[in-house]
Chain A
Amino acid sequence: MTVYLLRKLLGTIPTIFGVALIVFLLFHVVGGDPTYQMLGKYATAEQVAELRHQLGFDQPLHRQFVGFLREIVTFDFGESYATKQKVSRMILDGIVPSLSLTLPAFFLTTLIAVVIGLLVAYFRGRWIDRVTVLLCVLGMSVPVLAYILFGQYFLAYRLQLFPIAGYDPEWPERLVYLALPILISVMVSVGFSVRFYRTALIEETSQDYVRTARAKGLSEPRIYLKHVLKNSLVPIVTNVVMDLPLLVLGAFLLEKFFGIPGLGGITINAVHDSDFQVIKAMTIFQSFLFILGNVLTDVAYTLVDPRVSFDGR
C-alpha cells in the first residue's frame, strides 16, 4: 500500500502543476488588476506603478509563475490583497465553520438516503417506491434558494423554530444556528442520494447470491441488511469518500444566507475582489482535497471489498 500511495502522491505533482498553470493564466487573462482596488479611489499613476512593483506584477510572467509555485510548495500565500489578512489564517478560520455545516449534513443525508434506498429497493415497483422516486425528483427540482427563502421565512421567522441567521463559535449554540442550514442541505441533496443508492441496491438484489439466500430461506431483512447492503458498499463508499474531503470547502449559498463564516463565502468574495492570493490558495487547496478524495476512495475499496488490492491481483 505504501508504494501505491507514494506513486499516487508523485502522480499529483503534474496535476497540481497543471492546475497552477491554468489558474495563473486565467488570472492574467481575465482576472483584472487588483492594484486599483487595493489603492482605493484616489490612486495615482505613481502609486499604481509602485504597488505593481511591490507585488511583482511588473516582472516577466514566467518569473511570477515560479513565485506562485514556490508559494504552493511552502503553502505560504502571504496576505490577501483585499483584506490584508494572512491567507493561511483565513483558510484555517473558515474550515471549521464550513465543516460544522457540511459534515453533519453530509452524514445525515447519506444515512437517510441509504435507509430509504434500502426500503425502496425492498419495495421495488410498488407504490412506496414510485412515490419515493417522485418525491426525490420533486425535491431535486426545487432550487436550493427556494428552500432557503422558505426555511428562513416560514420555519425561522413565522414559526420561530430556528434562528433566522447567524453563527456562534461556542457549543451548543453553534448547533442551534446550524440546524436549519443543515436541514436544508439534507433536503436538497437527499433526493439525488436516494436515487443513487436505490439504483446500486436494486442492481445488487438481482445477483444470484440473493436468489440463493432466498432459496435457503433467509428472511428478507437479513438478506438486505447483511448481504445486499454489504455488497453495495463499493458504490456507497465511493460516493462518500470522494465527497468527504471536499466538504471542507463549504456550501456557498447556505453560508451566504445564514451568515456562516466558512470557506465558500471566502472563495466567492475572493473571486469578486480579484483577490488572487486567496483564489490561488483555495484552488490549490481544492485540488489537493480532490486528489486526497481519490486516494482515500482507493484505500476504502480495499477495506470494503477484499477482491480489490493495490498490487493489481
Chain B
Amino acid sequence: MHRRFHDLLPLLLVPALMLSAGGCTPRKKTDTANTLNTYQPSRIKGLDPIYADDIYSGTEVKRAYEGLLQYHYLKRPYELAPNLAEAMPEVSADGRSYTFKLKKGVLFQDDPCFKETGGQGRELTADDVVYSFLRLVDPRLVSTGWWVLDGKIEGLNEWRESAKHAPPDYTKPITGLQALDRYTVRITLVRRSAQFLFALAMPFTSIVPREAVQHYGKEFLNHPVGTGPFRMAEFDRNSRLVWVKNPTYRKELYPSEGESGDKEAGLLEDAGKPIPFLDRIVVQVFDETHPQWLSFLSGKLDATGIPKDNFAEAVGGNHDLTPELQKKGIRLHKNPGIDIVRTTFNMKDPLVGRNKLLRQAISLAYDAEPYIELFFNGRAIPAQGPIPPGVAGFDPDFKNPYRQYNLEKAKELLAKAGYPGGKGLPPLEYSATADGVSRQTTEYLQKLLAPLGIKLKVNTYSWPEFQAGVKNARGQLWSYAWNADYPDAENFLQLFYSKNASPGPNDANYSNPEFDRLYEKALQLQDGPERTALYQQMVRIVVEDCPWIFAVHRSIFSLVQPWVKNYKRHGFEHNAMKYYRVDPALKKQ
C-alpha cells in the first residue's frame, strides 16, 4: 500500500522544479518602446458602457468606445468638443432640440461579431446612437447610468415604462430620439437643460454596435467593440489589461489650441498630428499602493498618484518635488479635484434637522486645517460652500461665516441652540464605514466636538450597509465625498434640491422652497453671469441653513516620468491617453 504513496512522490517534486525555473530570464514580452505602462487602483468590473459608473471602468471603457461628444483636452475651464459628431449640435430656437451630424466613415473595430463583413468593422450610423441610448434606458439591463437620461428626452421614460411590462421594442419610434437619416440624430428634450450635453461625453452614452451585443450576449461586458483609438488585446479584469492601437481608427488630430501656458509647457508640440501616438497601453491592477509606488520608482509605471504613506518621499516643503525625484527628471503635476468632502446632517432627524443653531455651532467647531494635514498631507483646501474651484459659480472671495474655526462662537451658538456646554444634548448618532481611515476621521471629529461638550455615538457599517443607511435616512450625521460627474455647479447644487431627497443624491434631505425655485430657474439658463449669480445666491442659502459641514476640496498630485509627453490632467475626459506620447530615447536612458 505504501508503495502507491511513494509513486506519488515525484509529483511533489514537480512544483519545486517549476519554481527553480523561475530564476530563468523571462521571455521578452511584445512591449515596444512606444508602450505606456499605467495602472488602475481597483479591479475592473467590466467593459459595458452602461455599467461604467466608477472612474476605473469608465476609463477602460473609453479606450475602446466613444460618444457623440468629448472634452477639449487642453482648454480650461472645461469645454465640450465634438467626437463622433462632426460638429457641436445645431440647437433649435426653443433650446430643446439638438441635431447631431455624425462623422462619415467612422468604423467599428474589426471583430468576429460582424459576420456579414467577415469580421471587418462596419460604419457607424445614426441607428447605432439610438440603439445605444435605448440600451441605457432598457429596464431589464439595470444600467447604473440611466439617470443621465431620466426625465430628459421626450418619450424616453414612456418607452422605458412600456419595456417593463413587455419585451422592449428597440425599433419603436420615440419622439425625442430619432435617426433622421444615416448620419443625423435629433434629440428633443422635455425641457431646456444646460447640462444635458455633458451626458453625451460620459462613458454611459458611448456608442456600441448591436451585432456585438447580440453576438456576445452576457459576455459582451468582456468584449469591447467600439470606434475608439485602442482595441483590447488582453483582458484579465483582476490583474492586467493590454490595449493596442486600433488600425482602423479614423484620422483625428491633436488639438492646436489650449489655455495659456500650454505652449510653454510643450503641450502644443504635437499640434495637428494624428492621434493616438501610443502603440500599446499596459494597465496593471494594483490593489495596494506599496507595489504601485515601487513600480513607479523603478520606472515600470509611467505615471502615478502619490500614496499617502509615500508622500514624504515624493514631496517636500512648499509642496515641491524632493531632490531625489527631481534628479530623475520626474514631473509633479498639481490639480484641483472637482469634489467636496463633507459631513452631512440628516435634516429629517427631529434633533439635528430642526436645530439650525446646533448645526452651525458644530460647523464652527470643525477645524479643517489639521484635518487637511493629517488626512491629505496638505493636498486639499478648506471648503466654504459646495462648489469647488474650477467650476463656474465658485466664488474665491466668499467666506462661509460658519466655516471659520471659532470655538468661542460655536459655544455661544450651542447655548442659543438650547444646549449650553452640551448639557441636555444626547450623544449624536454618527454613521461610519468600518475601515481604518473612517475610524481615524471619526476620532478626529469626536476630538473636535469634545470642547463643546458634544458626544458622538459611532455606528460602524460595511460599505453597502452604510449606503443603505444613508439612502434610507438613518442616523444623524455621516461623512463622505462627492466627485463631480460634469463640470457644472449644478452637479453640486442638485445635492440640495428637495426632489432629489433620499434615496436620491440629496442625502441630507434638505428642503428649502426658495432654493428649489432658484435651482429650477438656473436649470433653464445657459452658462453666463445670470446663472452664476443664481448659483452664488443658492450657495448663500445652503451655507446659512448648514445642512452639511463643508469640509474640504481635495487636490490631485500626480507624478509623471520624464519620457511621457503631452500629459495634462483632465478631470472629466476618460480617454486622455490618446493624446499621450512616449519618448523612446528618453525612456531608454
**A residues touching B (Cβ–Cβ < 8 Å)?**
30-34, 36-45, 47-48, 50-51, 54, 79, 82-86, 93-94, 97, 103-104, 107-108, 110-111, 148-149, 152-153, 156-157, 160, 164-170, 172-173, 175-176, 178-179, 182, 230, 233, 237, 256-261, 265-266, 269, 271-274, 300, 302-304, 306
Contact = CB atoms under 8 A, between A and B. Distances in A.
B468 A108 contact: no
Given A37-B464, A42-B505, A257 B1 contact: no
Given A43-B471, A111-B12, A164-B294, A259 B239 contact: yes
B503 interface: yes
Contacts of B285: 259, 261
B5 A304 contact: yes
B468 A33 contact: yes
B26 interface: yes
Contacts of A34: 464
Interface residues of B, number: 64
Contacts of A260: 239
A156 B294 contact: yes
A179 B4 CA distance: 30
A51 B297 CA distance: 45
Nearest to B140: A54
6 contacts: A30-B465, A36-B503, A82-B45, A84-B51, A104-B18, A165-B286
A40 B57 CA distance: 14
Name the residue in B48, B240, B284, B468 with the highest tally of chain A Cβ atoms < 10 Å from its Cβ. B468
A179 B23 CA distance: 8
Contacts of A271: 462
Interface of B: 1-2, 4-5, 12-16, 18-19, 21-24, 26-27, 29, 43, 45-46, 48, 51, 53, 139, 142, 144-147, 150, 164, 218, 221-222, 236-240, 284-288, 290-291, 294-295, 297-298, 300, 461-468, 471, 503-505
A134 B23 CA distance: 30
Given A258-B291, A304-B5, A39 B462 contact: no
Given A45-B503, A85-B221, A172 B46 contact: no
Nearest to A275: B464
Nearest to B24: A172
A97 B285 CA distance: 15
Given A108-B15, A111-B16, A304 B22 contact: no
A257 B43 contact: no
A303 B5 contact: yes
A79 B51 CA distance: 14
B287 A265 contact: yes
Contacts of A48: 471, 503
A175 B21 contact: yes
B291 A164 contact: yes
Contacts of B237: 83, 85, 261
B239 A41 contact: no
Nearest to B147: A42
A173 B27 contact: yes
A83 B53 CA distance: 11
Nearest to A271: B462
Nearest to B39: A259
A174 B469 CA distance: 44
Contacts of B142: 38-39, 51, 54
A175 B504 contact: no
B298 A157 contact: yes
B26 A173 contact: yes
